[in-house]
A and B are shown apart, each in its own frame.
Chain A
Amino acid sequence: MRLRRRRRENQRLMPIKNQKDPARGVFTRRALLFMAVQTGTLGVLAHKLYQLQVKDGDRYARMAASNRVSKRYLAPPRGRIVDRYGIALANNKENWRALLLPEETTDVAGTIERFSTIIPLDDRDRTRIAREMRHQRRFVPVMLRDFLSWDEMARIELNAPSLPGVLIDVGTRRVYPEGELLAHIIGYVAPPNERDVAHSALLALPGMRVGRSGVEQSQDEKLRGTAGSVEMEVNSVGRVMSELNRVEGAPGTEIGLTIDRGLQQKVLARIGEQTASAVVMDCRNGEVLAMVSTPSFDPSLFDSGVSHAQWIEWTNNERTPLINKAVAGVYPPGSTFKPAVAMAGLESGLFSPTDRVFCPGHLDVGGTRFHCWSRWGHGSVDLHQALKFSCDVYFYEMARRVGMDRIAETAHKFGLGTELDIELPHTRTGLIPTPTWRQAHHHHWNGGDTIVSGIGQGFVQVTPLQLATYTSRLATGRAVQPHLVRALNSEVGPEATPDHWPTLDMPDKYLAALRGGMFAVVNEQHGTAPKARLSLPGITMAGKTGSAQVRRVSRALRESGHFNSANLPWEYRPHALFICFAPYDDPRYAVSVVIEHGNTGADAAAPLARDIMTDTLMRDPVNHVTPPPESVADATDTE
């Protein structure tokens, strides 16, 4: 009986109406209402989902794609700089750095503290680390120290367990294997500043460097290369998940210089402790084989950042180690200017090589007496003798009669006081003064100014590179331009002849007369520079001395008869100059030497120039004058 009733009950599993239990009927009705509401609500959500996923799907899919792709640029390696024989002068070397990945350590400050007990960190490092820490996300490594040595890396590896999150990574640094030897020519690089970055987005990449001096600066764009790019899938916080597309950048172009490193070494060694500048130039094609300016500096210091003390030391040094004196040092040319004055005189037609001037030891013009360097005078001299003796009065007279404008015009044709095509920044043009220039500065041009300009004093200022160019032009009669970079002026190859350059439009017989006078200076009896005579068989050199006063010598002192400039304090002594070219009969090389406060060109500069010229000729592979292999040169150095 009970069983049957239960079965009946069982058939009514959903009692809408229940006589015995009205509560159950109410419950069932209301529960069914709930079920309808539940089904309906989820149905509405399913509809909403349909709109989001299917109807508007494309729009959201596009938004999704832009969410995830990030383009980054790859820093290209900077081009090398090599000398004329392919020896690296500026190179990229691995830079081992210690990085800290903040997300991998629980105690960032503690890790840095422990790190500093192993590798000392100075205050500058600490403030930089703190700043980077604030600005970067936790998965971007922060650089703790770079330029680690092997020893330092070994210490870090040894302590790795107590340094969670510290990793060692390799970047590149710029190295200059020759250091001070070529510092002025190569220049140096430094991290880009904000202005650079605004100019080129490429520079914002970590590890990029900007040339700040020398060839590094002038050829910066080519050395820099082009950036590659990589498209990466990133997540919401910018972490890279995978690489989608990669475009390799082009590394910077390798720059080949005309410099001969071996010759440069020899010139630097020969100059020694003197504050001087020397330029060796191929006078046919304009290639600069050596360009030395002393004292020099260590360019690699700039890559890691120069200390304040070091900077103060450099900028306060009266020998100006940071300045490339060959292109940015300006000096009165002194007597080396005389051939240019002579050419102006000859070209004017007022003088001929055979015209004579009487030198009593001085020239009086308008109540002022201009002295010859020889108190007793040279007597009656023609052009050849005037150059040979370096007679001042001859050139005083010539300048007075020819006038400053003609002299300036000729000097400019020789390259003096002009902008040259050298691939270096921060060059100076010097100055060949004219009455117009003087008046532009609201001063009156005196006749005396022209007269002292005749011997390269007064306002005349030139650079050693201009002197070398001037000598090359004298030797070849062509408007030779100096240059340092070979690859760029490929049409001016090493075998280029002077025909490449436009002619100076000066009569050959006048040029020959000047060369003859310069030959006499070195090789004839009573020439001013017998010390410059070459001891190489069959090769002779022509040159011109110069001693440029940096301070006016008072009449009283001069007439006292006790005047000797060698007794002056260093900074008041005259500069010593010498210009020369060789071989005399077929000019190939031009050399200019300026020794600051070297006293006399004949005694200080001429022997130096001779030695440089000898080395240059000895190394010349074209001339076949015993080209010394590198190893032999090294062997002699070590002895």
Chain B
Amino acid sequence: MELFNLNHVSFSFPNTDQHVLKDISLSVNEGEFLVMGGASGSGKTTLLKLLKRELTPTGKLEGEIFYKGKSISEWEERQMVKQVGYVFQDPDNQIIMDEVMQEIVFGLENLGYSTFEMRKRVAEMVHFFGVEDLLNAKPSELSGGQKQLLNLLSVLLMKPRVLLLDEPTSQLDPVAAKELVLMLERLNKETGMTIVLVEHRLEELYAVADRIVLMESGEVRYEGDSRQVIGELYADRATQFFPYLPTFARLYMEFEQKPIIAAIPLTVKECKQWIGREERETMPVEAQSNQLKEQWILEMNDVFFQYQKKAPFVLKRFTLRIPKGQFFAMVGGNGSGKTTALRASLGSIKPQRGKVRLNGQDMKKMKDSEWLGKIAYLPQNPRTYFVQQTIEEEMQNVGERLKLSNVTERMHHLLEAFGISHLRTRHPYDCSGGEVQKAALACILLGEPEMLFIDEPTKGMDPVSKQHLGELLYSLQQSGLTIFMVTHDIGFAASYAERCAMMFDGEIAADGTPDELFKGNYFYTTAINRATRETKQPEVLTYEEAVATWAVRESI
């Protein structure tokens, strides 16, 4: 049965002629797991919001949207609230109440259920999810993954027929993201819940989805079964969508002489079967310790840190040295202390024991003004950077603070180089996430810092923007900038960083080149690495590496 049916739907925001959605005809079937992909700005979020009547943006809507055969506007308000659930991107913004229990019954309160019914539903749903321990916590104490689970739970309590999710995993670390996807899969399989998921990180979703929809500039470009879509993409050579495909599938399509659509591997298991297993002696990696007397720009020696007197240590004997000009990436799970390590190296927190040296100088003894302009920090959320009303004003302001000469000229140069000259007079909040990030980076580089600290730069980015960012950072490093990046995006770190370290329990557990560090791991590695381990092909970390190192196409 069709749940949703979109009949030639177009949409444009007020005061613009540009259509965000153009003539879309699409249906969503009962019990289906539908995944929507596409670059930022391709209109997928707008499309999703049109399916949830309460969230319909103001603007001009043409065409008609049917829910269960009846126009969506004819349904009774509470029925629509109940039947269509919506989970947003940011885990924090959706939470309204100060207690988990109050939060999950919020929807039921609004719909006027009795306390008895609320208790009953909570008991059942909490049991299904196995989250009894969350009930007595405060939402502010939960991790990102738990918060998103809470948001899912509070929507599910209204017993919706269809669940709409807008990039729910984009702010989560890979482990939490996988958990959420597993939960959705379970919901779909065990309760027959219809799920429409919009996502950038599609790698694992191809195997889960019943149907894939790929969008580009407001239009549905490809639609159908996962393998069928991949086949069509390759038949049309639609290269702009290739980064959204699972790496296995890409390799299969490119290395297999006569690819068969039905045999496209979508999981690690299928990929291994395709390449063919081959037992290989796994050699324990010997990290080459190139502890030559290099010029360290940042030195952290035996650093200990705790947030409160009786709290456990977040950093324990943390030691790290970064030489001049290196692109260093630090990975680690949630709560491994990597953000704390970054904050200690920035001088935001003062370690209880141990020394942090910047260019040989003890940071504890330096004043804030002494490192002004020498080190720069690109935060996870680049909006925190902007105080002024436009990007141009912000750059002028930075110039004044650092007492720079020829600010205007340098500003033009940087904006030009980043391709954001047209945003100069824009309010930072009117730019997209990627644009704000570039603008912040431009402001930061105005002072010509020696070292750049970056925190989770790829959160919520689509693969193409990610690639642009990586190339940008790489070129900055080539021009002499030292980069210290904290991330949980292993693929990104493996592709662009020179040296990586893995953090665990407050110290660096391993440190080496991406190859030394990630190859051979079970979980802390890329999916393609897991798929190529002990196979007839050389073990690789990224798609690019496979293309470069794998034997000629005929060999398989």
A binds B: no
